[in-house]
Structure 1
Amino acid sequence: MRLLVYPHELSIGGSQINAIDLASAVANAGHDVVVYGVPGPLISYIEERGLRYIPARRLRYRPAPSRIVQLAALASRERIDLIHAYEWPTCLDAYYGAGLFLNVPLLCTVLSMQVMPHVPASVPLIMGTRELGAQARKVHRGRVWVLEPPIDVERDTPFVDGKAFRSRHRVANDEFLVVSVSRLAVDLKLDALVRAIDAADLLAGSYSLKLVLLGDGPAREALTTRASAVNRRHGREVVILPGADLDPRSAYAAADLVLGMGSSALRALSIGRPLIVQGEEAFSEVFEPSTCELFLRQGFYGLAEGAVGARRLAAQVESLIRDPGRRAALAHFGREMVAKRFSLQRAADLQLDIYRQILADPPKRRLSDAMRSARLSLMLEIANHDPFRKREKKLREKSILATVHSGSWPPVLGE
């Protein structure tokens, strides 16, 4: 097969890395794969995996007219058999040119935590959790599969050495190291990151503990301010934010405990670390046999009651600090589970089977689907570029980040 894989962006993130890892595994199975996307930090990761990369034209609008034309030309020139797009904007870039007019089969993977109505009804979907797959089947006419985020269990193993990471960040042998690898974003991530800092603050007076938040993003300055206040309060370096790392395996390996969600949580388990899964609105749960089914159903993420403070998370961390035997058992259980269910090779085999099914029976396109998706995406773009809405969004983010700076949490909005 001649395949074009189109991640929604090439900044550091779980969805993008999943797309590249799967593309590499499919190429290793003997297929011709090209990765297309707007230039970003993950270009080096694409090249490291031995994949051919074609840069996409930059344009903020979704779908992007220049990329629609570029993709159609690419599909024709490269004789592409199938385009695999990740998330709805890239799907529409592929659909309105190569798909609609050149009849190139298209597959869309949606790893966000909701079913987006913008994907044309005839386009086959891959969803990232069983719950989302069930939701998609209720509202989407096209075929729907579930493929959980894959992990390269041959690369992310318990044999990764974390000693250099601990040394680089001055983590003493007797310090309990908690690590979170995450985008420092306002949406989806910020609640978990703030509560991690606050939990470290609650525990630092009783335990020799250090929290490393590895990543970068628009919330970094506010989180650094909050972390600095914690460090001053305890007279030592309790929380540090060293920035992003394209290869964070040593950070996971160095940790005594990992806090995470999504692919980051799975990588921690693959490297053999005990894990607390975080989400939003104060959600946190230890990953263990009693919670495994919950996460297999809803994904490694969750929502809670939005309680004030981080005492729930702090209590969970403390229980693991005090029980090294439990930590070792959880690390072993997590590694076995990921190796069995989330391995990259298993996911690649499933994905190749999906490709074959689509090529054997390509979906029939309807003009009404194209018109509906165009209308929905146009309405969203008009709203996104509405100066009043943009101003409101900026004010909302400013208010949220001000709350991070101030030391209180969660923010009170709309008052």
Structure 2
Amino acid sequence: MRILVYPHDLGIGGSQLNAVELAAAVQRLGHEVIVFGRPGPLNQRIEELGLEFIPSPEPHRRPTPSVVKALVRVARERKIDIIHGYEWPPALESLIASRRSPGTAAVATVMSMAVAPFIPKSMPILVGTQEILTAEQEFGRTLAALLEPPVDLDANNPSLDVAEQEFRGKWGLDPAAYTVVLVTRLAKELKLEGILAAIDCTGMLSQELPIQLVIAGDGPARRLVENHARAVNAARGRPVIVLTGELEDPRAAYAVADVALGMGGSALRAMAFAKPLIVQGEKGFWEVLTPDSLPLFLEQGWYGVGPGTQDGPGRLAQLLRGLLLDESCRKTLGSFGLSTVQGRFSLTRGALVLENFYSLASEAAGEVSIVQEAGALARFVEYELARRLRGVLGSSPADDFNSRPVAWRRQAGPELEAGTTRQASP
């Protein structure tokens, strides 16, 4: 097959890194794979993996006509079988382009915590958790499947030399202190609550334990995080919170951790380095990965929703205290995490899932539902009108399909879920 992979951008992030690494893994299965998109930091990874890259026109209002036109041109010239768009804007642009390219099918992958309701039900779609898959099947998706975020175990494993000592020296880490690591995007939706809770928790624990928290990442909430970290460091009189900014290669950060915090793909990469993991969520959710908690994460993804935000730092402090003071437990749980990733989340397994799904999508390519696509268009118009209104009112979230995750809605109860599951955002 000839496949055109279109990530939503090529900055450092979980969905787009998955897109690029899976593209290379599918290419290794014998297919011709091209990556299409706006140039960014991940272009270096694309080159390392031996993938061809075609730059996209600059997108503006989505879907962008010039991007669709470029996709159509590539699909026709290169006789593309599958255009694979990651997240909703590339998904819609890929679908429109496929309609104008005979013999080409479109596939979507959504790794956000909820799926945009205006992606037509007839478009083949892959999602990252069983819980979201169930919700999409209930919504009436014609062809939907599970693609759990994979990990490149050749590039992420405990035996690698990733220059840990150089990393410690560069960031002034205390070799005698316990090191807790959080590799994350500094986003207001989904992430910020947990990041601030981790900072507060470290400030509390530093009064009784030698501890330092390393936060690796960047994003729109950077100033809020910096101010919070600065206040805690000032109160403690030493740098217990270390902010590295975005790291093109965060593997050394995972490697130096005594305990890792995280959600989604970041959590899985920490597990690949055999680190004990505390999964981050929202509304005060923190939970250690153990054999008992694993079924929860396999169902709803590496994320959770707690009872409220007020005791998030206290809950995390309780869990960290227990892990940091028990080296044997840390080693056991780290080994368990590594074996879990090796058995279920390998890049090779993900590529085989994709290969099979591409075949199913190609077979179903002629099954177009005008009614379903008209309904999707109506939902998109509703979304755009609501988004513009929120923009005028100053209440529009930067990432609205992570602002009301499926797990959050389902926990909130049937009445709230029925009223919000298929709306763009609160």
What is the TM-score with the length of structure 1 in the denominator? Answer: 0.91
Q: 8 Å contact 1:151–1:266 — kept in the other structure?
A: yes
Distance 1:261 1:388 in 2: 29
Distance 1:4 1:218 in 2: 30
Q: 8 Å contact 1:3–1:83 — kept in the other structure?
A: yes
Q: 8 Å contact 1:85–1:109 — kept in the other structure?
A: yes
Aligned to 1:107, what secondary structure does the other structure show?
strand
Counterpart in the other structure of 1:7: 7
Q: CA deviation at 1:257?
A: 0.7
Aligned to 1:285, what secondary structure does the other structure show?
strand
Q: 8 Å contact 2:276–2:289 — kept in the other structure?
A: yes
Q: In structure 2, do the counterparts of structure 1 residues 372 and 348 end up closer, same or farther at CA, with 3 Å as the change threshold?
A: same
Q: 8 Å contact 1:6–1:83 — kept in the other structure?
A: yes
1:46-75 deviation line (CA, Å, top 9, x unaligned):
112111111111122121111111111111
Counterpart in the other structure of 1:319: 322
1:72 partnered with 2:67: no
Q: 8 Å contact 1:6–1:35 — kept in the other structure?
A: yes
1:268-318 deviation line (CA, Å, top 9, x unaligned):
001111110001111110011110111011100011122314100111111
Distance 1:313 1:384 in 2: 35
1:191 partnered with 2:193: yes
Q: 8 Å contact 2:282–2:309 — kept in the other structure?
A: no
Aligned to 2:394, what secondary structure does the other structure show?
helix
Q: 8 Å contact 2:189–2:397 — kept in the other structure?
A: no
Q: 8 Å contact 1:2–1:79 — kept in the other structure?
A: yes
1:327-354 deviation line (CA, Å, top 9, x unaligned):
0000011001100100001111121111
Distance 1:340 1:236 in 2: 41
Where in structure 2 are there 5+ consecutive unaligned residues? 401-426
Q: CA deviation at 1:254?
A: 0.6
Distance 1:227 1:249 in 2: 23
Aligned to 2:292, what secondary structure does the other structure show?
helix
1:344 partnered with 2:347: yes
Q: CA deviation at 1:394?
A: 8.0
Q: 8 Å contact 2:274–2:338 — kept in the other structure?
A: yes
Amino acid at match of 1:144: A
Identity of aligned residues (%): 40
Distance 2:133 2:388 in 1: 31
**Structure 1 segment 391-406 matched on structure 2, within 5 A:** 391-393=394-396
- Give the RMSD, CA atoms, in angstroms: 1.8
Counterpart in the other structure of 2:336: 333
Distance 2:380 2:78 in 1: 28
Amino acid at match of 2:63: P
1:75-110 deviation line (CA, Å, top 9, x unaligned):
111110111111222111011232356352111111
Counterpart in the other structure of 1:292: 294
1:246-285 deviation line (CA, Å, top 9, x unaligned):
1101110011111000000000001111110001111110
Q: CA deviation at 1:388?
A: 5.0
Distance 2:109 2:366 in 1: 16
Q: 8 Å contact 1:63–1:377 — kept in the other structure?
A: no
> Which stretch shows the higher mean deviation, 337-346 or 99-108?
99-108
Distance 1:209 1:129 in 2: 33
Q: CA deviation at 1:379?
A: 2.9
**Structure 1 segment 2-401 matched on structure 2, within 5 A:** 2-99=2-99, 102-161=102-161, 162-309=164-311, 310-386=313-389, 389=392, 391-393=394-396
Distance 2:49 2:393 in 1: 38
Where in structure 1 are there 5+ consecutive unaligned residues? 398-415
Amino acid at match of 1:346: R
Q: 8 Å contact 1:160–1:250 — kept in the other structure?
A: no
Q: CA deviation at 1:363?
A: 4.6
Q: In structure 2, do the counterparts of structure 1 residues 296 and 141 end up closer, same or farther at CA, with 3 Å as the change threshold?
A: closer
Distance 1:89 1:371 in 2: 17
Distance 2:181 2:106 in 1: 38
Q: In structure 2, do the counterparts of structure 1 residues 65 and 255 end up closer, same or farther at CA, with 3 Å as the change threshold?
A: same
Distance 2:280 2:58 in 1: 33
Amino acid at match of 1:53: F
Q: CA deviation at 1:223?
A: 0.9
Distance 1:357 1:308 in 2: 47
Q: 8 Å contact 2:387–2:396 — kept in the other structure?
A: no
1:352-372 deviation line (CA, Å, top 9, x unaligned):
111122223435112233322
Q: CA deviation at 1:380?
A: 2.2
Q: CA deviation at 1:154?
A: 1.6
What is the TM-score with the length of structure 2 in the denominator? Answer: 0.89
Distance 2:305 2:275 in 1: 23
Q: CA deviation at 1:134?
A: 1.1
Distance 1:169 1:180 in 2: 15
1:202-228 deviation line (CA, Å, top 9, x unaligned):
101111111011000111111111111
Q: CA deviation at 1:377?
A: 2.1
Distance 1:89 1:175 in 2: 44
Q: 8 Å contact 2:76–2:101 — kept in the other structure?
A: no
Q: CA deviation at 1:325?
A: 0.5
Amino acid at match of 1:306: G
